Amino acid sequence: MIALRSVLFNTIFYANLIIRMIVLSPYYFVVPRKIAYAIPKNWARSNHWLMRVIVGTTFEIEGLENLPDGSYILAPKHQSFWDTYALLPWLKDPVYILKRELMWIPLFGWYAKKQRMIPVDRGARGKVMVEVLKRTKEELSTGRQLIIYPEGTRRPPGAEPLYKYGIARMYRDLNLPVVPVAMHPGLFWPRRSIRRYPGHFKVRILPPIMPGMDPDAFFTHLIEVSERASDELLLETVERNPHLPLPPTAVERLVELRKLNAATG
């Protein structure tokens, strides 16, 4: 049944994306950008409904009160395609820094350009990165929220953290609060897999790290609070969903955490 539900979900998920982009394009590209944002926001909501109804996966969000007013940097753990869109319904006006190649995809790239997403060559240095920072500051000056994945790419649940120092540079240069987010959607929507698993998990939005810290101290603190919350949620999620097939990284981390808990009482 899991295989059948996974195929059904994946088929409807991508059909939902493509059909919405085609049918709603005349409206999307005519109305002002902020009004047009309702389309990706509602698309995200529809995906949550599809996951619940077809796969049987539900989630809850803790800590919405930790999202500041105005501009800030959202720094979620990144495990799955799910977390690239999941929080859109709760964000007022987000902006992403995207791989420039994504902007070349028909329809998707046009939608992203309309929302003034910021393309970047991942291998770029020097003047290119200065221009990206300039664009980012311009967007955030209007009250937008920047979404950055501190590890840069998807990581399996329980994997050793590999945070990139770029988040510390952004923290220093943008002088904005950084809001860490811990979650384990990768247990239900694994990377590089077509399978989707039923169950329930939490998204935990942590208190913002306010601007003004030394970048090195900030970087250490971000990793510490994010990984502590991630470990807590890993234990909680697996305990609540004993049926889940776990990746080796999660199995190894769970053994370490249970030994640590036993040693500390």
Q: Is 54 helix (H, G, I), strand (E, B) or coil?
A: helix
Q: What CATH number matches the domain at 1-264, 3.50.40, 3.40.1130, 3.30.70, 3.40.1000?
A: 3.40.1130
Residues 85-143: tens digit of each pLDDT: 999 999 999 999 888 898 999 999 999 999 999 998 866 666 677 888 899 999 999 99
Q: Over the range 160-195, which residues count as b (16 or more CB within 10 Å of their CB) and which as e?
A: eeebeeebbebbbebebbbbbbbbbbbbbbbbeeeb
Which pLDDT belongs to residue 120?
A: 85
pLDDT band at residue 263 using 50, 70 and 90 as cut-offs: confident
pLDDT exceeds 80 at position 193: yes
User: Averaged over 64-87, what is the pLDDT?
Assistant: 96
User: Averaged over 153-170, what is the pLDDT?
Assistant: 93
CA–CA dist 116, 100 (Å, integer): 13
Tokens of 165: 């120092």
**What percentage of residues in the chain have a pLDDT greater than 90?**
88
CA–CA dist 196, 186 (Å, integer): 10
- Alpha-carbon torsion 31, 32, 34, 37, what sign? positive
* Sequence ranges of the domains in the chain: 1-264
Which pLDDT belongs to residue 123?
A: 67
